Amino acid sequence: MHKIQSASKPPQNIAFIANISRLVDTETFTFMPGYELRRATKSEIGILSETLRSYFPRDEMINRDLWRYRLKERITESLPEKEWRYFVIGFSNSNSEIIELQYASDIAPLELEIIFTIIYPTASGRINVYIPDRLFQVLNPAPRNPSFFRTVTNADLEFIKDNYNRIKRHDDKLLNIRRILEQFDSLKAIRKGSELRFLGYIAIIESLLTHNPEPGDPYASITRQIKRKLALLNNRWAPKIDYNTFEKSTPESIWTAMYKYRSIIAHGGSPDFNNNELRLLKSADHARDLARDTAKAITRQALIEPHFIKDLRDC
């Protein structure tokens, strides 16, 4: 009697998270059954390195495996193997849930950068799934950015998991959050320093909080709506928007300056952050980060209280 040999089982699919330095409080984390965040295995590290080199054939720092070195002005100090920064989500089911997890992460205070997925349809073949522009914009500045790698706690991961569960339960017929999440995803494909990112986050804020402005004075009307509604929301959500970067300025003054900045760049002007009207914003980076964090907070609140956000937008 001959024993029938079963076909080789394909390796586990993996989604590569590029920006985790280390996990605190846990060694693994389960987002849902069958989707586990963990360190990559030795064989997976080889495949990840090979894939990265194919995406960035001329980038010396990426090709030297950024994930094995400490980030300094020059990458000269290698990490011990147990501290290598290769983390993946292992899964055997649909890649669509990885996309949902990225959406959930994009609106979290600490964002995980899932830059590509490797899927094994058979034991002998694999498919790489990625968005070229997003991958490039996430990784290209990484070797020069000491804050690229993040220490991730169990609480950070639970926050993303909660976002994911709310996204899955949300009814887009009431409030189209899917469209908002896709916009966040699209903005990641734009250079971080681009003013288009700032305008994109402002557009998300306006789409969630404002109704059609008064015809005679549209900018003033929208600015008033934003200031009034954000003041109300900041008493409801956690964490609150952090305005400490802007010293002792009030949120109302800050958002007046934000809309002055918006008006300047929307009309092709050159903003001057030494000018009295924009001085309290300090820089384009500070303004962009505030717009981003505010857009994320409103989107999260829309998942928690969709009826309230819809009513707030319409009032």
Q: What is the pLDDT of residue 315?
A: 83
Mean predicted confidence (pLDDT) in 52-79: 79
CA proximity to 31, closest of 109, 99, 117: 99
Tell me, yes or no, whether 90 and 204 share the same domain: no
pLDDT of residue 207: 95
Question: 128-170: per-residue pLDDT in tens?
Answer: 999 999 999 999 888 888 899 999 999 999 999 999 999 999 9
Answer yes or no: is 6 within a domain. no
- Residue 5 included in any domain: no
- Number of alpha carbons in the 13 Å side-chain half-sphere of residue 17: 30
Does 246 share its domain with 267? yes
Mean pLDDT taken over the chain:
90
Do the domain assignments include residue 144? Answer: yes
Pairwise pLDDT comparison (93 vs 157), residue with the higher score: 157
Query: Which residue reads 């004075």 in tokens?
Result: 217
Instruction: Indicate the pLDDT class of residue 182, thresholds 50, 70 and 90.
Output: very high
Give the model's confidence band at 220: pLDDT under 50 very low, under 70 low, under 90 confident, else very high. Answer: low
In this predicted model, what pLDDT tens digit does every residue of 189-209 receive, in sequence order?
Answer: 999 999 999 999 999 999 999
Tell whether the model's pLDDT for residue 73 goes beyond 90: no
Q: How far apart are CA 150 and CA 129, in angstroms?
A: 24
Q: Is residue 2 part of a domain?
A: no
Which residues have C-beta within 8 Å of that of residue 11, sequence separation ≥ 6? Answer: 43, 44, 120, 123
Which residue range forms the structural domain that includes residue 102? 13-167
pTM: 0.91
Residues 78 and 135 grouped into a single domain = yes
Q: Give a yes or no: residue 7 inside a domain.
A: no
Quick one: 209 and 162 in the same domain? no
Boundary (domain end) residue, out of 139, 167, 195: 167
Q: In this structure, are 144 and 112 located in the same domain? A: yes
